Amino acid sequence: MAIPLNDPSKLTNAELMRARARQGTRDGREAYRVPKQAGANVEVAILCEDGRKATGECVDVSIGGAGVSLPRTKDLELVEGTKVRVRIHHMSRARGIEANAEVVTVAQTGASVRYGLRFIDVNEVIQQVDSFYARWFNRRRNVRVMPDFTTKVSGTVKWSDGELSARVHDISMGGVGVLATLDQVKPLKIKSRVEIALTLPNSPLPIVCRARIVGMKAFTKNVLVGLEFEANGGIERYALGLQRYVDERQAQITQFNYAASQTPKRVG
């Protein structure tokens, strides 16, 4: 399917600037950062090569790294470039996410010290992220959302000598994750360039653009294929509609979570 040349969803310059502004991150981190929410109960343990250890508060986290705040009384006096082992753990879970990391920033703030940590091997983290921890770890710099469970969003992925039909698992301004079978993805490799076509709910036109494969995560029966939209690959034509869909789904998810938090829990 060719990318339409006269797409009515194409942005004006002003609209494009507003959409790009919404995509930016304040600290320039490549992966989208998720701030710690009140009551999240996420802690970070830093383990040094010499056996020293300290546990502090998780300030923010992404698939690329984490920020941890330690009381000065527990300060390990680490410097930039120090290699450590990091364990991120939610108190309600039996296990956490553990990976090698490097100290990239050190900031003294009042009675605490904050360390910015970069994961050395992102794949080590990806292999440990399950559906629970996925709410904090995000591979993209943009917020990603899942389609409503009652709405099935399908997509078609094409490459030079083949194609596959797959279900859209999640989508953001930067890319899309699709679920396919093990047999379907055999011809594909990381960094492969493809064309993705999908239609969002309540959208009159399909999104058709170029993308590249940035990750594959195998489950029991399916494979989650991560696709990153290529710059100037056609996605810019649909930025306004895509941003609108992401914003609407975020609002719906927030509303659902709030309603769920207000529901009295059953006793006994």
Give domain status of residue 6, yes or no: no
Which residues are paired to 33 by β-bridges? none
Domain final position from 84, 118, 135 = 135
Compute the distance between CA of residue 88 and CA of residue 30 in angstroms, rounded to an integer.
20
Q: How many domains does the chain have?
A: 2
Strand pairing class (112-119; 97-109): antiparallel
Q: In the prediction, which pLDDT does 255 show? A: 75
Q: In the prediction, which pLDDT does 1 show? A: 38
Q: Is the same domain home to 146 and 255?
A: yes
Q: Is the same domain home to 208 and 106?
A: no
- Closest listed residue to residue 155, CA positions, set 145, 166, 147, 163: 166
The enclosing domain of 210 has a CATH number of 2.40.10.220
Q: Is the same domain home to 81 and 119?
A: yes
Q: Is the same domain home to 170 and 130?
A: no
Which residues are paired to 61 by β-bridges? 34, 66
Give domain status of residue 266, yes or no: no
CB 166 within 8 A of CB 179: yes
Q: Is the same domain home to 182 and 165?
A: yes
Give domain status of residue 4, yes or no: no
Q: Which two tokens stand for residue 165?
A: 């039909």
Give domain status of residue 113, yes or no: yes
Give domain status of residue 268, yes or no: no
Q: Is the same domain home to 248 and 161?
A: yes
Q: Is the same domain home to 58 and 17?
A: no
Q: Is the same domain home to 88 and 131?
A: yes
Q: Is the same domain home to 110 and 163?
A: no
Q: Is the same domain home to 18 and 64?
A: no
In the DSSP assignment, the letter for residue 36 is P
Give domain status of residue 48, yes or no: yes
Domain final position from 120, 135, 150 = 135
Q: Is the same domain home to 170 and 126?
A: no
Domain that holds residue 161: 13-24+142-261
CB 46 within 8 A of CB 40: no
Give domain status of residue 255, yes or no: yes
pLDDT-flagged residues of the chain (< 70) = 1-40, 131, 135-142, 257-258, 260-268
Q: Is the same domain home to 70 and 171?
A: no
Compute the distance between CA of residue 179 and CA of residue 217 in angstroms, rounded to an integer.
10
Per-residue pLDDT tens for 199-245? 998 887 899 999 999 999 888 888 999 999 998 899 988 988 888 88
